[in-house]
Amino acid sequence: MDDIARHVGLSRTTVSFVINGRTDVQISDKSRQRVWDAVKELGYRPNAGAQSLASKRTNLIGLITDITASPFGGGIIHGAQKAAWELGKLLLIVSSEGDSAMESAALEMLLGRRIEGVIFATQSHRLITLPDSASEVPTVLVHCFDQARAFPSVLPDEISGGYIGTRRLIEAGHRRVALINLDPGLPATVGRQIGYERALAEAGIPVDPRLIATGHATATGGFQCTAALLELEQAPTAIFCGTDRMAMGAYDAIKERGLRIPQDIGVVGYDNQEIIASFLRPPLTTVALPFDQMGAAAIGMLAALASGATGEQLILSGPLIERASA
């Protein structure tokens, strides 16, 4: 920067003003132009670290997550990254492997880098315990929540998801709609069932407990539940699966019985895992989680927190992705 200043015969101060495009200082257009020319000519590139040190703004945001290892929920990173970029912030992503000692260590090092905020994101909707140092910096939780629900968080609307999936099946003419839910007690499980029952109630269909199964979130889980449901005396004509993986298993069980999708049995999945949903035959209609928006929203909340806003809880609902199974 000194070089630039010397080169154009101005002071460092002036150069700094020009480069930062400050409008509150009067600098002649001629000087401005000369500075920029020199910048080009000398190939000058401001040192962000030095800027941070002097200005006390690092423009760094931490993202601690267990997502990088898995194919799941990458949209969160994606959405956050994009939103951060637009705000001129850089995301420092650290994968915690879901290990809380690691999370703690990661946060320490990020605090050493003087991040202005931190996001904790998980690949499944669940409870986490935060490192103590989380209270030292604005914190937002994505797809997870802390015991005391003390931190602002961005969560998917499980109820709405359960509702729209079920309603889609009802609209297709089904009255006996089964729900293959995830393991009991999970936030997703609870919420989706509420949505499911709400949709049935709205259509005047009584809830039949025999049509509600729970299983592991795997193809095998889906296969077994579906097989059992199809054995029922009054078997369902539609099945709403808790995950696309389960739907994958459901397809097998259905095809094995020579039934066709969606003519004989309608199927709706959950998660919109492209890789499964769009390559299943027929392509799977499924409820998507709004991962991108969740990530972006987290950045937005952090920005809001920085300007004095108070932390809320944001519930985002995802759309139904129509393909061909319902």
Interface residues with a copy of itself (CB under 8 A) are 45-50, 52-53, 58, 68-72, 74-75, 77-78, 81, 85, 90-95, 108-109, 111-114, 218-220, 223, 245, 248-249, 252, 255, 273-276, 279-281
Angle between helices 29-42 and 12-19 (to 10 degrees): 90
If residue 195 lies in a helix (H) or strand (E), which one and from where to where?
helix 187-202
Binding mask 263-292 for DNA (x = CB under 7 A): ------------------------------
User: What are the tokens at 83?
Assistant: 């939103």
Say which residues have a Cβ less than 8 Å from residue 149's Cβ, sequence separation at least 6: 313
**Is the four-CA dihedral 192, 197, 198, 203 of positive or negative sign?**
positive
Site membership for DNA, residue 23 (CB under 7 A): no
Complex with DNA: residue 45 or 209, whichever CB lies closer: 45
Complex with DNA: residue 13 or 313, whichever CB lies closer: 13
Strand partners for 208: none
Complex with a copy of itself: residue 276 or 305, whichever CB lies closer: 276
> Min. distance of Cβ 121 from DNA in angstroms?
28
If residue 212 lies in a helix (H) or strand (E), which one and from where to where?
strand 212-214
Whether the Cβ atoms of residue 168 and residue 326 lie closer than 8 Å to each other: yes
Binding mask 42-61 for DNA (x = CB under 7 A): --xxxx--xx-xxxx-----
> Among 7, 27, 78, 172, which residue interacts with DNA (rule: CB under 7 A)?
27
Q: What φ, ψ does residue 131 adopt, rounded to 5°?
A: -60, 150
Binding mask 120-139 for DNA (x = CB under 7 A): --------------------
Whether the Cβ atoms of residue 298 and residue 142 lie closer than 8 Å to each other: yes
> Min. distance of Cβ 59 from a copy of itself in angstroms?
10
CA dist., res. 83 & res. 91, Å (int): 10
Complex with DNA: residue 9 or 319, whichever CB lies closer: 9
Our CA angle for 306, 147, 112, nearest 5°, is: 45
Partner touching 19 among DNA, a copy of itself, none, CB below 5 to 8 Å by kind: DNA
If residue 109 lies in a helix (H) or strand (E), which one and from where to where?
helix 100-112
Edge to edge, the sheet with strand 117-128 lists 90-95, 60-65, 117-128, 139-146, 153-156, 313-316
Site membership for DNA, residue 31 (CB under 7 A): yes
Site membership for DNA, residue 33 (CB under 7 A): no
Complex with DNA: residue 38 or 287, whichever CB lies closer: 38
Complex with a copy of itself: residue 44 or 210, whichever CB lies closer: 44
DSSP letter at 96?
A: -
Site membership for DNA, residue 2 (CB under 7 A): yes
Q: Which residues bind DNA (CB under 7 A)?
A: 1-2, 9-14, 16-17, 19-20, 25-28, 30-31, 44-47, 50-51, 53-56
